[in-house]
Amino acid sequence: MAKQKKIQFSAGNLWGIDLGGTKIEGAILKSFDKPEVLFRERVPTEAENGYEHICKQVGKLVDMMIDRAGRKPKTIGIGTPGINDPKTGTMKNCNTVEMNGKPLKKDLEKLLGMKVEMANDADCFALAETLIGVVKEDFPKARVVFGVIIGTGVGGGIVIDGKPIIGLQGIAGEWGHNFLDESGGECYCGKTGCVEKLIAGPALEKYYYTETGNKKPLKDIVAVAESKSDPTAQRTMLRLIDFYGKSMSVVINILDPDVIVIGGGVGNISLLYDRGRDAIKKYVFNNTLDTPIVRPSLGDSAGVFGAAFLTQK
């Protein structure tokens, strides 16, 4: 039996935390140039137990990482399900609502005894796919990347020349809360008709249920739409494509990125990459649509990898 190679940790390692609504994942990467995973572990978020418990769970995970590495980093990157307001230093727009209004960065720096670099999960997704994912693999000359997450919500992150763009108010890339159509109804953000309320997974499921009275998970709606056995499911997909085209065309008109990467559960729907392109082309302010729109290559690793890369400022 071959002897297992001993993992060597060093001061050049990158440490990252992906703080999600149900799980918190931590990873230690070998270096920026060689992002080999040296350690990876998860703990439950247990957000229902409150904000202080969430912080303790982060601390628990970091202690596990320190114990494994035999050293403590000076800086750790953390991706969050919301935004650290640059003005107030408190969290906002978190779907894990226990964090909203709390000084998470300050509290974690005190708890962990190290500097914390923080960005939202879409920024981390976009950064990872740019630096070591599909963008690096297939579009190495791309300077402007827009990373999209369409799942239970709709988010976005902008990376320019390998750096995440956070913005003056911390909301750069938040296309999910642009106004799209009144039919989307009221959003948790307090506005009506947001992109998220029309093309996110729960919004698609809600539309199907409203039309039929039958509850179906999105994957089943997609399946029966593809089989052409359910006209309402087909209408649900056509509605998605039209609103996707309208909302994405606004992003392209303003940012004109070199490439768009789409993650999240809704991002797995194949229609987005053919009929969806046609819909964007219909609405975009150009005679053609040259923008590459691609699937990610890192899977669920993107968030924690992107968080680790935040430490390289």
Q: Same domain, yes or no, for 140 and 109? A: no
- Is the C-alpha dihedral spanning 209, 198, 245, 143 positive or negative? negative
Same domain, 291 and 305: no
* DSSP annotation string for 173-204: T-GGGSB--GGG-B-TTS-BSBTHHHHSHHHH
My answer on whether 160 and 286 are in the same domain is: yes
Residue 2 DSSP one-character state: P
In a domain, 7, yes or no: no
Smallest CA-to-CA distance from 245 within 211, 270, 273, 208 is with 273
Structurally, how many domains does the chain consist of?
A: 2
Pairing of strands 37-44, 163-165: unpaired
pLDDT in tens, the chain (313 residues): 445 567 889 999 999 999 998 999 999 999 998 999 999 999 999 999 999 999 999 999 999 999 999 999 999 999 999 999 999 999 999 888 899 999 999 999 999 999 999 999 999 999 999 999 999 999 999 999 999 999 999 999 999 999 999 999 999 999 999 999 999 999 988 999 999 999 999 999 999 999 999 999 999 999 999 999 999 999 999 999 999 999 999 999 999 999 999 999 999 999 999 999 999 999 999 999 999 999 999 988 899 999 999 998 6
Model pLDDT, residue 1: 47
Q: Are 47 and 34 in contact (CB under 8 A)?
A: no
140 and 280 belong to one structural domain: yes
pLDDT, residue 304, reads 96
Which residue range(s) make up the domain with 151? 134-297
CB 240 within 8 A of CB 123: no
* Residue 190: inside a domain: yes
Q: What is the pLDDT of residue 301?
A: 87
Residues found in the chain: 313
* CATH (domain of 20): 3.30.420.40
Tell me, yes or no, if the pTM score tops 0.85: yes
Per-residue confidence (pLDDT) for residue 4, from 0 to 100: 52
Q: What is the DSSP letter of 143?
A: -
Domain-embedded: residue 8: no
Q: Are residues 102 and 187 in the same domain?
A: no
In a domain, 1, yes or no: no
List residues bridging with 147 in a β-sheet.
157, 261
